[in-house]
Each structure stands twice: as structure tokens, then as C-alpha cells.
Structure 1
Amino acid sequence: MGLVAARELSEWMISQERTFASAGEIARWLGCSQLQVPHRLRGARQAGEMVCVTTGGWVPARNHRIWVDSFLDEMMRYLGHPYYVGYLTAASIYGVTHQAIQTTTLATTAALRTRSIGVHGMRFARKNDLARFPTRKRQMVTGWGNSKKALLLSTPEVTLLDLMERPKRRGGHIYLNVVAEMLDSRETIVPAPTDPDAPKLRQVSMVDPYELADAAYLYGHSTRQRAGYVLDAMADYMGVEFDTDPLRSTLPVNPRRVHYDTNIDEYDREEGWVKIDDRWNVTQWREFDPDV
């Protein structure tokens, strides 16, 4: 005999603050074999109470709603793949994009397919040397009371560089907005309580020029050039100062010319480029249109 009935599983998991469970765990809770789990949960699934988010991986729902951030870490550990949440998703968590993000993007070592969970999508970017990329651990609210779950995020510096690998034409202003808001954002640094000589609370820029330069070595020259060019442009646009010299020092004296836009079409070539920046040797084919 199991611990709980199939139709009560969702509420039971929520009460136990379990935001993800494998079919093997559920089989033990229901008192059935692992192969019987999909059949036993058919009613709960049709009622929107349980959702299968990956093969053999289930999450509970409340009012047909799930919180993707609450189970990502457990799901990726269940799949056995390292990961970090990055790109526009990380930017949104850091609070520097005000557009609703309908797709959660994770970098991982595995070749995983894009999937949809209700109205929300999950996209995976493959990176073989993932362990070299700096990350931060963030406690995310699950949506059920004050319960929190850990999530690995790319640092602001890696987030910025990831976005500059292949800037997209559609919604390109979103990338510019992210960079602009990163430059204008501040993080509060809290000293360690055990260190009597630690400084008092202080605020620093979200993007550190030297950490950015260190992370830049994980990317090709073209990504570094685009990042530097956009940082200079957005710093000027926002009226703030940002030292891009450390990032520039990671490049050759005369780097090969690259396009900021990675999808130049025939219409762009007929119209001609807008600007060529000498410092970064970047060609800009379309006018920048940030709206922050």
C-alpha cells in the first residue's frame, strides 16, 4: 500500500515542498511499479494537477500552474547534466529586462531538445566546457508560500557575453536594453559578519570590467568585439562611465572586422552599413533602438 492516492499526489507533494519527483519515487509513494506510474497519474495529468516535464520526471501543479524555476535544478540533476540558467532568462532574474520571458534558456553539456510545458518553453544551448563558465547560486521562490529552491545562474558578465555571441535582428532592442540596464544597475555588497575589518555596505556596478575580461577568454574574438562595442555605445546612451579597456586588452591590436548583426540580409547590403567602429572594428548595419 502506498503513502498517498494518485489524485492527492499533487497536494501531498506541495505540502512536502517537493517540486520535482522521478517516476521511481512516485512509484514508491503510490505503491505501484514504475511502469504503472503514467497510467496511475493519467487522471491527475488530465486534470492539470501533475505535469510530466521530462521522461520519468514529474512536477505538481496548483490551479494548472507550475513555477519552472522551482524544479529546474532538480530536473537537471535527475537528467545528470550540469547546467546554468543564462541568456535573457538570467537577465530577467537579475532584474534587467522588463519583458516577460516565455522561454527559459539553459546552457548545458548535453544535446537536449527544446520543449514546451504549457505556455512556457525551455531551450537548451550546448556548451562542452560548461564548468569553466562562472556562475552564481540564487534562491528562487517556488510559488508555494515562502519555499525556495536553488538555481545556478550565469554571472552578469557571462550573461552579457552569451547574448553577444549571436545578436538577433528580431527584438534586437531587448539585447541593447539588457546591456544598458546592466550598466546602470548596482548591487549591494554585504561584508562577511565574521570579518571585523570588512567594509560597510557598498554598491558596485552589476558588471565588473575585470571579471568581464576574465570571462571573455571563454569566447571568440567576434563576441568580445561585439560586447565591447555595445558596452561603449550603451554607456554613452545611458550617460554612465564603464571601463572597457580590460576587455579591449583581450584582443589583438588589429582584430579582424566583424558584423554586430549576425544575420545580414540582402536588403541591409543594398542600404549599406550605418557605422564602422575603429576601436572594436565592428560594422553596424542597423540603427540601435534601445527603449530604456
Structure 2
Amino acid sequence: MQNVTQSVTIVNMDQLTTPVRAPELATWALAHGRGSLTSDEVARLLGVDTSQVRQRLNAPARRGEWVQPTRGLWVPVPPEYRTWGAPPGIEIIDAMMRHRGIGYYVGWLSAAAIYGAAHQAPQVFQVAVDRHMRDRVVGRTRFVFAQRGITSIPTIAHPTRDGSARVSSVAATMLDVADDLMRAAGIDNAATVIIELSEHELFDVNDLARLAPSFPAAAGRRVGWFLSQFTDRDDLGPLRQVVRDAVTSVSHLEPHTPATGPVDSNWRILINRDVEPDA
């Protein structure tokens, strides 16, 4: 991932003629567009050994000026977020993942919220990662990580204070939500989110059709069924063609409900539960 601030960071730090004082470092970092600093960078700015960084930043951290979301990474907290204990998750995630060398994208309900399609505020910040990452709480944000293959998932670059964060595309978010109903807070909420995402300016049913083969057939079938039942879209043919015959078996609308009910032959899905999207 491109580090959009790296060249600026090197110039600013090399131009320092005297060390920055620890009580002033957060202000310096924010003024220079730095959303995070490694322990080595902090040591260089303070003119101390890396082993002294934690001691030097202890008092500023207790004042809420710094937060450490992962070992070796320090995030300056803007004044407006100091009562929170940290900036919002979307402002932290990219620096944290780059520091750990982990591929990621913001997904599920957290991505939906960024697109304005979360009917209820997500209780956690949901992130897909390409290797194990322990869940954690940073300030008011509870990060929940799910390990999965991410290379085939399209993302957008969502602007942040000092760069951008990777967020799953509208189509990928819809399919993720339909695939994992537990992370989507249940089938009714999943239907609501998918309906709202279909109204976003970036939604294109052809994107859904192209991406659906990368997901279980049930995900694409659920998305198609939700949109056919609860919207007036008449352009679902490309998606239906891809997912209807993807596998010969019928998919269940609700995977944890007994397999009884009618089959919608257009989408090859068993309607084993009533779905009631939020108004």
C-alpha cells in the first residue's frame, strides 16, 4: 500500500535542527499532517533512544494526547477526540495495518455505514484481514477482525485525515453482508442494508454480477432475492444469470432456520423465513 505521507515525513524530520519536546510532540505531529509515528520516529524527533519513548510519552498519553493502538505505533489524538481517548477507527486503521504489514479492508456494516447505508450504528468496527489480528479496543472503537482471502475483493480509498483507508466496494459490501448474516446483525438488517446500498450512486448491478462468483452462491442469491422483493429494480438479469446456476443445490435464505418453505426458482433459493426490512 502506498504511504502517501512518506516523502513529506522524511523532509520535515530531516529539517529539524533541535529535538521536539515531548509535551509539544502531539501538536507538532498534527501540524505536520502525521496521523501516526513509529517508536523509532518518535525517538528521532525527541532526540532520545527508542527505549526511552514510552517513558517520555507517558505523561502526554495520560493527558489524552497520544494513543498506542498496537506495539510500536503512536497516534496523536486531535483535541476534539481526546474525550474519546482516540480518533475514530477509520482514522486509525490504515496506519495500524501498514505498521503490522497486514492486508485489510473495512467491511460489512462498517463499510455500509461509510456509504450511509447502516440503518443502525455498528457496535463494532469490522475489518477483513489476510492474517490473524487480535481484536482490540482503541478509545471508543472496538475493532473486530475477520481473517479471509482479500485479494479478489475490490476496495475504494476512503479519505482520512492523513491519507486514506481501504473500504470494500458497494458490491463487495452487499455480498459480504449477504454471506455472513451474523456479522450483519441478522437477515432483516442485512436486507435493509443491501436495499439501501442499492440506492447508492456507486452501485452497479454489473459489478455485482462480476464479483458474485468470488462468493458462495447463497450470497449472490440472497442479494438478488432481496432486491427483487423489496425494490423496483428491473436490471437484475446479469446477476440472476450468474448466480442461478452457479451450483445445482438450492440455497437457504436463512442458514440457521429449518429447511421448510417454498423455493423461488428465479434465484434458486429456499424461502425458509419471513424477511422484514426496517422501514
Cα drift, residue 170 of structure 1? 4.3
- Residue 246 of structure 1, aligned match among 214, 238, 246: 238
In structure 2, what is the Cα distance between the partners aligned to 1:174 and 1:53? 30
* Alpha-carbon distance in 1 for matches of 2:39, 2:187: 41
Query: Hey, what does 2:251 align to over in structure 1?
Result: 258
What is aligned with 2:14?
Answer: none
Distance apart, 1:87 and its partner CA:
1.2
CA shift, 1:275, in A, is: 4.6
Rounded to whole Å, the distance in 2 between the matches of 1:31 and 1:178 is 50
Alignment of 1:143-292 (within 5 A): 149-168=163-182, 170-185=185-200, 187=201, 206-235=202-231, 240-251=232-243, 252=245, 255-264=248-257, 269=258, 273=260, 275-292=262-279
Gaps of 5+ in 1: 143-147, 188-205
- 1:132 paired with 2:152, answer yes
Corresponding residue of 2:20: 4
Where is the helix percentage greater, Structure 1 or Structure 2? 2
User: Normalized against structure 2, the TM-score is what?
Assistant: 0.82
In 2, Cα distance between equivalents of 1:210 and 1:286: 28
Q: CA deviation at 1:80?
A: 1.4
1:207-260 CA-to-partner distances (Å, cap 9, x unmatched) read 21211111111112222222222222222xxxx214222122223277312222
C-alpha change, 1:232 and 1:291, in structure 2 (3 Å) is: same
1:88 corresponds in structure 2 to: 109
Gaps of 5+ in 2: 1-16
Matched-pair contact (CA < 8 Å) for 1:167–1:260: no
Q: What RMSD, in angstroms, separates the aligned Cα atoms of the two structures?
A: 2.3
* CA distance in structure 2 between the aligned counterparts of 1:172 and 1:253, rounded to whole angstroms: 22
Kindly tell me the number of residue pairs found equivalent between the two proteins.
256
Q: Mean alpha-carbon deviation: is it higher for 95-104 or for 11-20?
A: 95-104
Percent sequence identity is: 29
Structure 2 Cα separation of the partners of residues 64 and 275 of structure 1: 53
| CA distance 1:52–1:279, shift in 2 (3 Å) | same
Alpha-carbon shift at residue 125 of structure 1 (Å): 2.1
Q: 8 Å contact 1:274–1:287 — kept in the other structure?
A: no
Judging changes above 3 Å, is the alpha-carbon distance between structure 1 residues 283 and 120 closer, same or farther for their aligned structure 2 residues? same
Alpha-carbon distance between aligned partners in 2 of 1:153 and 1:18, rounded to the nearest angstrom: 21
